Amino acid sequence: MASEPPPAPSAPDPAAKAPSKARSRRRRTIALVLLSIVLLLALDQVGVRELSGRDFPSSDPLALALRARVEQLAAPAWGGRVPGSEGNAAAARSLADALAAANVKPFPSLGGYLAPLSEPTSPLGHNVLGWIPPEGESRGTIVLGAHFDHLGMTDEGLLLGADDNAAAVAVLLGALPSILAQHPRPYGVAVAFFNTEESPYFGTPRQGSQRFVAALPREIGGLSAVRLAVVLDLIGGVVWRPTADTIFACGAEKARGLPAIVDGVREPGLDVRRLGIHAVENIPGYVPQPFSDYDVFRDHGVPFLFLSSGRTPRYHRASDLPETLHYDRMARTSRWIAGLVAALSAAPPALSFDPRGEDFAAERDTLRYAFGAAAKPWTSIPGTSPITWARILGDRSRLEAMAEPGHTWTPEDARAIERASFRLQCLLYRFPVCFTL
């Protein structure tokens, strides 16, 4: 490479002032950009406060009962309801009592509410099952399920599991009086409080829901008679204002006829938004990961609906406490579930499982709604970094493109939906690497 001789040093002349002025302008610009990035970061962290149940004082008459139930189940005295512990057994007995008080009977073939997880002994405890028989000619059974066990003592301290999953148990109990008041009732309703959902039992034959399916009460008449399994997990948490009144209904796309029924059930003040189960389970770059007790039903070809308000930063932490939950929304969810049972009774008995079922348009609409809010700095999700924000803008424009007239769905759309859905869940859970998705 040829080089020129260096210029000889010369006395400063007026022309040299111009570049030095440009330099200082550049420095000012860089300083301004840095300052605004710092400001943005600070705004992300403190400007948008993370919400909790304290921001949603309850006024719904049912909310008080739900709260009392959650406080009982998540009381330190029951130690987080760890399978095999006295606290878990006490929780199971209290749920049996709650079913009796609600006038829901046990399955006659079981002779009681407590169904063992193994035989001849059941050291880990029991599932708690109730049975509302059909009236007249039966169309089959609807399972309403939620696990009641939790993790208890960990390195972090005592995990009491208010949102995971005392809230869902309370919501199901809250739905029972309205379901019992429905006539006609062509479906039997199996109320299932599953044990042993948490690690290390998840995905093993020791999982309460797997045991339920393997030892189905005789009255149900076999798994093919289960027309729908509605499973709730993490149904009380709240972290972000735009989704504070939202629950996600996942998996309806896998049953022909179910999406329209789900969309048709309305409860004032509750936003039920559908999301495909793939958008919950398929983390980009990872093996698909089932999340709750709906899994065993899906694996056996039973139509299912998974209801959840999603993980919050309190998920599997000692901070998952009763005072952090949104009890009014939970009360609305109880009524919505009773409404769903009524709608199924009123609709023709036509649900059938469709493993390849998809409904990208519904997912696009659910995510467009969330990303519309997440993309605005004043309604962004707490903890959105500038890089994540840029990714959110990208997600939003991809979702907008999917809403153009005549759009044809591609596998890339499915992946973009999964990425957007996970970025959203990652942010709401406050997982630190949401921008890498």
CA distances from 231 to 66, 171, 209, 217 (A): 18, 11, 10, 18
**In terms of CB distance, is 320 or 418 closer to Zn ion?**
320
Burial class of residue 116 (count of CB atoms within 10 Å of its CB; 0-12, 13-18, 19+): middle
Structure tokens at 83: 């399978």
Rounded to the nearest whole angstrom, what is the least distance from the CB of residue 330 to Zn ion in the complex? 17
Rounded to the nearest whole angstrom, what is the least distance from the CB of residue 165 to Zn ion in the complex? 7
Encoded one letter per residue, x for contact with Zn ion by CB under 5 A and - for no contact, window 114-153 reads ----------------------------------------
**In terms of CB distance, is 164 or 293 closer to Zn ion?**
164
In whole angstroms, what is the distance from residue 363 CA to residue 241 CA? 20
Rounded to the nearest whole angstrom, what is the least distance from the CB of residue 196 to Zn ion in the complex? 11
Rounded to the nearest whole angstrom, what is the least distance from the CB of residue 199 to Zn ion in the complex? 8
**Which residues within the stretch 157-216 sit at the binding site for Zn ion (CB under 5 A)?**
164
**In terms of CB distance, is 144 or 159 closer to Zn ion?**
159
CA distances from 322 to 54, 76, 140, 337, 394 (A): 10, 11, 36, 22, 37
Name the residue among 374, 209, 368, 359 with its Cα closest to residue 278.
359
**In terms of CB distance, is 166 or 341 closer to Zn ion?**
166
Question: Are 396 and 375 within 8 A, CB to CB?
Answer: yes
**In terms of CB distance, is 163 or 328 closer to Zn ion?**
163
Name the residue among 303, 420, 433, 405 with its Cα closest to residue 367.
420
Encoded one letter per residue, x for contact with Zn ion by CB under 5 A and - for no contact, window 270-299 reads ------------------------------
- Counting contacts by CB under 5 A, is residue 320 touching Zn ion? no
Q: Judged by CB under 5 A, how many residues of this single chain contact Zn ion?
A: 1
Rounded to the nearest whole angstrom, what is the least distance from the CB of residue 127 to Zn ion in the complex? 17
Rounded to the nearest whole angstrom, what is the least distance from the CB of residue 316 to Zn ion in the complex? 6
Structure tokens at 58: 């309850």
The shares of helix, strand and coil residues in the chain, as percent rounded to the nearest 5, are 45, 15, 40
Rounded to the nearest whole angstrom, what is the least distance from the CB of residue 429 to Zn ion in the complex? 12
∠ CA 408-412-416, rounded to 5°: 110
In whole angstroms, what is the distance from residue 164 CA to residue 232 CA? 10
Q: Which residue is nearest to Zn ion (CB)?
A: 164
Rounded to the nearest whole angstrom, what is the least distance from the CB of residue 95 to Zn ion in the complex? 17
**In terms of CB distance, is 315 or 371 closer to Zn ion?**
315
**In terms of CB distance, is 293 or 413 closer to Zn ion?**
293
In whole angstroms, what is the distance from residue 87 CA to residue 80 CA? 7
**In terms of CB distance, is 160 or 228 closer to Zn ion?**
160
Structure tokens at 274: 């559908």
Residue 179 neighbours by CB distance under 10 Å? 25
Q: List the beta strands (DSSP E) in 88-182.
A: 114-116, 126-132, 141-147, 152-154, 157-159
Rounded to the nearest whole angstrom, what is the least distance from the CB of residue 223 to Zn ion in the complex? 25
**In terms of CB distance, is 311 or 396 closer to Zn ion?**
311
Stretch that binds Zn ion, among 156-164, 167-175, 205-213, 408-416 (CB under 5 A): 156-164
User: Contact positions toward Zn ion, by CB under 5 A?
Assistant: 164
